[in-house]
Chain A
Amino acid sequence: MKLAEVDRSLLVVAVGLMTFGLLTLYSAGQTDVPTHAAGVWYRQFFWFGIGVVVGSAVFHLSLRLLEWLAPALYLFSLMLLVVVLAVGTGAGTALSSHSWLSIGGHQIGQPSEFAKVATVLMLARYLSSRREPPRALRDLLVPGLIVGIPFLLVLKQPDLGSAIVFIGIAFAMLFWSGVRPRLLFLVASPGLSLLLAFNNWAWGAWMILFTGLLVVWRPYIYDSLAFWFANVAMGTIALPLWQRLQPYQQNRLLTFLNPEADPRAAGYHAIQSRVAIGSGGWFGTGYTQGPQKRLAFLPEQHTDFVFPVVGEELGFVGVMVALSLFLALFLVLLRIARRATDSFSSLVTFGILALLFTHVFENVGMTVNLMPITGIPLPFFSYGGSFFIICSVCLGLALRVAWDSRQAGYPDI
């Protein structure tokens, strides 16, 4: 394997993001108040090393081998998810959840991160093995199960943020496999119905619109009935479902709508994050100098809220640089997915793109109150071993796909 033929643009963007991430993580530890974030950048170097090793190991694996291994990896990840539900421990702000697998008191990883990649592989294998892209609801049953099982297991931990990532992966990969967007919209419609059910008028209007869409689009008749009843059912169970949510989940959703409602407790993260970002202005307060971070007003500044450190210290300009790097990463991944040698490779790359994108959009969005607050790390920035390794695995896979297509002589389109 000739290293000279790896995809340079992906490598450059990835190294750029990792450097930016490490520098930000270093700054996050520079506080006037001792926090446990002080030395994490140092430990992240360790994970960085492991990430490079694991990433290059993945790079050396054939996609065919992975395709063959996919069911085993998938089942193994499901097993881990079941185990972690039984013996898992919590961490950080979500101490009562069961998301960490620990041995002898040492937390060694979050199986949900591994399950994300395993699900991408499994879904890619299933979708690429089909002759036709799914056209009807019936065709979506198997993909639905492949994603639905880990989704429910993660939701049970409970880890809403990671669960949302599974949804993102599923929709993106179905779309990439050729499922028509309108079918995806119909699949998503019960979710919309659920959201709109809190206002009778909105829900009524939605049902009329939805019925109209069914008439115009004319999907299979059984599918139509199923979608229609699913919408009605969602509208009906919305309230009981809401009451079954954990109070902290209800609070998070409510404070997303109005963070000032509870500025001391649930809204604290949302407010302080925006205060830190907003006080940055155009050019920020200077690297490592952000007072909100230094004085520990910014919570979780090395994990979920690492991005406000960029916003406060480097300002709007720094944020634009970081977001541009992410955009570049996604566009490069999109290019790799597009010119992949086979549908499995293409689907895996697009699944990786969806995985990373969901993380970035959800994480960055919540720091400016664009998205509700869910505990979800920012790729290459947030401190954390298992997630960083997963990101490295993703990059290794993408590099391999790009390398394969270059070996096959595909033009750089």
Chain B
Amino acid sequence: MNGFDSYRVRERADLARWVLIGAFLVLSGAFFRTQIIQHDKFQLKAETNRLRPIALTPPRGAILDRSGRIIAENVPGYSVKLLAPNRDSLLAVLARVGRVVPLDTSETPEILRRYAAARYQPVVVMGDADYETIARLEEHRAVLPGLVIQAEPKRMYPAGKAVAHLVGYVSEVTESDLTANRYPGAGLGSIVGKAGLERQYDDSLRGNEGVRYIEVNARGRLVREEAGTASLPPTPGRPIQTTIDLDLQQFIDSIWPPGIRGAIIAMTPTGEVRALYSAPTYDPNAFVGGISSALWRSLNTDEAKPLLNRAIQTRYPPASPFKLAIAAMALKRGLIGLDTRMPVPCRGGMRLGNRVFRCWKKEGHGSLDLVGAVASSCDVYFYQVGLRLGLQAIVQDGVLMGFRDPSGIDLVNEVSPIYPASTGYFDRLYGPRHWSPPATTLNFSIGQGENTQTLVNMMRFYEGLAGNGHAASPYIVRPAAARPRDLGLDQAQLDGLRRALIAVVERGTAAASRHTDLAVAGKTGTAQNPHGKDHGWFIGFAPADKPQLVVGGIMEFAEHGTVVAPYVVRALRRYILGPDTAGTIKMKVLLDEASPVDSAPRPIELDPDSAEARERADSTRLSGGRP
């Protein structure tokens, strides 16, 4: 008991007391540091632990036509989302959802992919659920953990397929979009415009997302939908007013012959687009809330390419409508006058070197002035105009008139036309001395050769003819900043060309579409198509003396411009004369000899043994000839 005398016990007790108090102070200090000094840091960590931000979709701005009718609007919709702690539980809840409401199981891989992209966010299961589905799900909420039903403005296109290529469609932003920063300000799950006006004006239409917080537990399970923390309401997108005439747009859709591919554009002589239609079309409403993968696949694999906007994304040989450009070049340079007759009258063809370049009309047109040549689309006449101009001038003036540049319409993905910048182009393409400048000149004179144009770009030129000789960029919402291109024609020359175009409809190639109550001016064309039947062109405007509207149409495999003309004329009449006088189209396709094929046949080789000559001939006709 030696170690326990009272003095030594007190000594040890004192030491032990200090050790205990020291330990108390150490622990107190640790708690003070954690709870008071680092409080803000841990508070933030605690909040991020339990609160998950959910983006609130802003209502997209409406798209209106010129009189305020709705092209695109928002209707109340619901999206069904699931917040799942892991993949297995997501699949389990999905299976339960599938027992409550019909659920497309083929979408499951897509849902899982979306889940993997953002596992801490509720994953969209149904982007666009109807009220009945929502009601049924709400009823079974108890067995569907993590169910988030969000009222979301939903895009709606009342005119449906009639406006598809014009407005485009909306869809969830993809990862590659985000990587490429194609949509500044968009985040995962944002709804963005993918084509047409929705894409072009996405930044103002989209608005800004809001945010709200939901509370989750440690296993990532939803606990409360409204976590009471400050939420930010979304900022609605701004509406845009377009120059479109919805009535005309829908009318064009209603008269378009089923099964035919092509496009129609209608615009004023100042460049305001009144209608822009491409066929075959699709229903943009199908994309709202996520397009089903089956439909998406069929849209993409369809041989007719319904997603392609043929008004701005397909190049066609400009063919006869280009003859007006040749005429304008020659008039501008003073090489011909309106009443100039060419030295060689049309006898069904013209000899150049050892080849005969034929006119589309075997019997020939005889001697014609410019008006007559345009009216009957005489190839021989324009061969000679082209030769007077020379290839150099054709290329130069064509570039000046805008045939080398896109029209500048305010729609994304317009393709550039193909047009040489200089004659050096042919040297690069075929090698110097391996192409024949005169033969190329003749091809260009009738709108063939290394010259392909989009419908919208040809429209710009005709809009200049119909207006004051200045070709302004077409626009749907805001005019382009670029100044209109001056075609370089005086008023008398413009009038003369218009007279010629009137003659086309009055007594020329489009005479079948003539009506007495509205004077229409226009030009037919047949674009040679190496892959099948020729494409038909018609670009016209009315009233001929004081044009209000320019309408151009192209139909693939239509064989003749005369097939297209009635549709264009009906659109013009509908717009200018109103709904009651539009009449019906007489589907009278003339296939006999006298039918204005309007496109020069392949030249005849005078010296068949000359292999070199044949090669040159082929090379100058890349755009192809009929077999």
Chain A residues near B (Cβ < 8 Å): 32-33, 128, 131-133, 175-178, 181, 271-272, 274-282, 291-292, 294-299, 311, 315-316, 319-320, 323-324, 326-327, 330-331, 334, 337-338, 342-343, 346, 350, 357, 361, 364-365, 368-370
* Segment touching A, from B41-49, B125-133, B602-610: B41-49
Do A346 and B34 touch across chains, with their CB atoms under 8 A apart?
Answer: no
The docked-state distance in angstroms from the alpha carbon of A239 to that of B23 is 31
The docked-state distance in angstroms from the alpha carbon of A178 to that of B7 is 12
The docked-state distance in angstroms from the alpha carbon of A100 to that of B49 is 34
In which size bucket is the chain B interface? 35 or more
Q: Which residues of A contact B16 (CB under 8 A)?
A: 175-176, 334, 350
Query: B28 interface residue, CB < 8 Å from A?
Result: yes
Among candidates B17, B35, B50, residue contacting A334 with C-beta atoms closer than 8 Å: B17
The docked-state distance in angstroms from the alpha carbon of A88 to that of B219 is 31
Do B30 and A370 touch across chains, with their CB atoms under 8 A apart?
Answer: yes
Among B69-102, those with CB < 8 Å from A are none
Q: A279-B43, A365-B27 given; name 14 further pairs at CB < 8 Å.
A: A33-B217, A133-B2, A272-B218, A278-B39, A278-B45, A278-B46, A291-B50, A295-B49, A295-B50, A297-B50, A320-B31, A324-B24, A346-B4, A365-B30
The docked-state distance in angstroms from the alpha carbon of A32 to that of B1 is 58
Q: Which residues of A contact B221 (CB under 8 A)?
A: 33
Do B46 and A343 touch across chains, with their CB atoms under 8 A apart?
Answer: no
Q: Which residues of A contact B216 (CB under 8 A)?
A: 295
Do B3 and A133 touch across chains, with their CB atoms under 8 A apart?
Answer: yes
Do A292 and B50 touch across chains, with their CB atoms under 8 A apart?
Answer: yes
The docked-state distance in angstroms from the alpha carbon of A348 to that of B20 is 18
A343-B50 in contact given A334-B16, A338-B9, A361-B27 (Cβ < 8 Å): no
A295-B223 in contact given A131-B2, A177-B3, A277-B31 (Cβ < 8 Å): yes
The docked-state distance in angstroms from the alpha carbon of A327 to that of B39 is 25
The docked-state distance in angstroms from the alpha carbon of A357 to that of B216 is 37
Do B3 and A337 touch across chains, with their CB atoms under 8 A apart?
Answer: no
A317 to chain B, nearest CB (A): 9
Q: Which residues of A contact B217 (CB under 8 A)?
A: 32-33, 294-297
Q: Which residue of the partner chain B has the closest CB to A299? A: B218
A184 to chain B, nearest CB (A): 12
Top 10 nearest A-B pairs (CB, nearest first) are: A278-B42, A178-B3, A279-B46, A295-B217, A133-B3, A296-B218, A368-B30, A297-B218, A316-B35, A343-B4
A327-B38 in contact given A33-B217, A334-B13 (Cβ < 8 Å): no
Do A281 and B35 touch across chains, with their CB atoms under 8 A apart?
Answer: yes
Q: Which residues of A contact B20 (CB under 8 A)?
A: 327, 330-331, 334, 357
B132 to chain A, nearest CB (A): 31
19 A-B contacts (beta carbon < 8 Å): A128-B1, A175-B16, A177-B3, A277-B31, A277-B42, A279-B39, A291-B46, A291-B215, A292-B50, A294-B217, A295-B50, A297-B217, A298-B218, A320-B28, A338-B9, A343-B3, A365-B30, A368-B27, A369-B30
Do B31 and A295 touch across chains, with their CB atoms under 8 A apart?
Answer: no
Query: B26 interface residue, CB < 8 Å from A?
Result: yes
The docked-state distance in angstroms from the alpha carbon of A364 to that of B34 is 13
Do B2 and A315 touch across chains, with their CB atoms under 8 A apart?
Answer: no
The docked-state distance in angstroms from the alpha carbon of A316 to that of B29 is 11
Q: Which residue of the partner chain B has the closest CB to A290? A: B46
Among candidates B2, B12, B35, B219, residue contacting A277 with C-beta atoms closer than 8 Å: B35
Q: Which residues of B contact A350 (CB under 8 A)?
A: 16
**What 1/0 flags go to B473-495 for Cβ under 8 Å of A?**
00000000000000000000000
Do A175 and B12 touch across chains, with their CB atoms under 8 A apart?
Answer: yes
Q: Which residues of B contact A175 (CB under 8 A)?
A: 12, 16
Do A276 and B46 touch across chains, with their CB atoms under 8 A apart?
Answer: yes
Q: Which residues of B contact A181 (CB under 8 A)?
A: 15
Q: Which residues of A contact B27 (CB under 8 A)?
A: 323, 361, 364-365, 368, 370
Number of A-B contacts (CB under 8 A): 141
Query: B429 interface residue, CB < 8 Å from A?
Result: no
Q: Which residue of the partner chain B has the closest CB to A181? A: B15
Q: Which residues of B contact A275 (CB under 8 A)?
A: 42, 45-46, 49
A295-B4 in contact given A277-B31, A368-B30 (Cβ < 8 Å): no
Q: Which residues of B contact A370 (CB under 8 A)?
A: 26-27, 30
A280-B35 in contact given A178-B3, A327-B21, A346-B9 (Cβ < 8 Å): yes
Chain B residues near A (Cβ < 8 Å): 1-4, 8-10, 12-13, 15-17, 20-21, 23-24, 26-28, 30-36, 38-39, 41-43, 45-46, 49-50, 215-219, 221, 223
Q: Which residue of the partner chain B has the closest CB to A319? A: B31
Do B4 and A178 touch across chains, with their CB atoms under 8 A apart?
Answer: yes
A281-B31 in contact given A33-B223, A178-B8 (Cβ < 8 Å): no
Q: Which residues of B contact A276 (CB under 8 A)?
A: 46
* Residue from B3, B10, B50 with most neighbouring chain A CB atoms (10 Å): B3
The docked-state distance in angstroms from the alpha carbon of A271 to that of B42 is 10
Among candidates B10, B23, B35, residue contacting A311 with C-beta atoms closer than 8 Å: B35
The docked-state distance in angstroms from the alpha carbon of A326 to that of B218 is 31
Among candidates A177, A315, A326, residue contacting B35 with C-beta atoms closer than 8 Å: A315
The docked-state distance in angstroms from the alpha carbon of A152 to that of B75 is 73
The docked-state distance in angstroms from the alpha carbon of A34 to that of B420 is 75
Q: Which residues of B contact A326 (CB under 8 A)?
A: 24
A291 to chain B, nearest CB (A): 6
The docked-state distance in angstroms from the alpha carbon of A58 to that of B298 is 84
Q: Which residues of A contact B30 (CB under 8 A)?
A: 365, 368-370
Do A319 and B35 touch across chains, with their CB atoms under 8 A apart?
Answer: yes
Q: Which residues of B contact A319 (CB under 8 A)?
A: 28, 31, 35
* Residue from B2, B31, B36, B223 with most neighbouring chain A CB atoms (10 Å): B31
The docked-state distance in angstroms from the alpha carbon of A294 to that of B46 is 12
Do B4 and A281 touch across chains, with their CB atoms under 8 A apart?
Answer: no
A13 to chain B, nearest CB (A): 14
Do B43 and A281 touch across chains, with their CB atoms under 8 A apart?
Answer: yes
Q: Which residues of B contact A337 (CB under 8 A)?
A: 13
A181 to chain B, nearest CB (A): 8
Q: Which residues of B contact A132 (CB under 8 A)?
A: 2-3
Q: Which residues of B contact A338 (CB under 8 A)?
A: 9-10, 13
The docked-state distance in angstroms from the alpha carbon of A326 to that of B33 is 20
Do A274 and B42 touch across chains, with their CB atoms under 8 A apart?
Answer: yes
A278-B17 in contact given A177-B3, A297-B218, A323-B27 (Cβ < 8 Å): no
B227 to chain A, nearest CB (A): 10
Q: Which residues of A contact B4 (CB under 8 A)?
A: 178, 343, 346
The docked-state distance in angstroms from the alpha carbon of A175 to that of B13 is 10
Do B34 and A368 touch across chains, with their CB atoms under 8 A apart?
Answer: yes
Q: Which residues of B contact A298 (CB under 8 A)?
A: 218
A292-B46 in contact given A278-B34, A331-B17 (Cβ < 8 Å): yes
Q: Which residues of A contact B36 (CB under 8 A)?
A: 281-282, 316
Do A323 and B2 touch across chains, with their CB atoms under 8 A apart?
Answer: no
Among candidates B13, B17, B35, B219, residue contacting A33 with C-beta atoms closer than 8 Å: B219
The docked-state distance in angstroms from the alpha carbon of A30 to that of B542 is 80
Q: Which residues of B contact A279 (CB under 8 A)?
A: 39, 42-43, 45-46
The docked-state distance in angstroms from the alpha carbon of A299 to that of B218 is 9
Among candidates B8, B12, B43, B218, residue contacting A278 with C-beta atoms closer than 8 Å: B43
A263 to chain B, nearest CB (A): 10
The docked-state distance in angstroms from the alpha carbon of A265 to that of B33 is 25
Q: Which residues of A contact B31 (CB under 8 A)?
A: 277, 311, 316, 319-320, 323, 368
Q: Which residues of A contact B12 (CB under 8 A)?
A: 175-176, 178
Q: Which residues of A contact B41 (CB under 8 A)?
A: 278
Do B218 and A33 touch across chains, with their CB atoms under 8 A apart?
Answer: yes
The docked-state distance in angstroms from the alpha carbon of A367 to that of B541 is 84
B9 to chain A, nearest CB (A): 6
A281 to chain B, nearest CB (A): 5
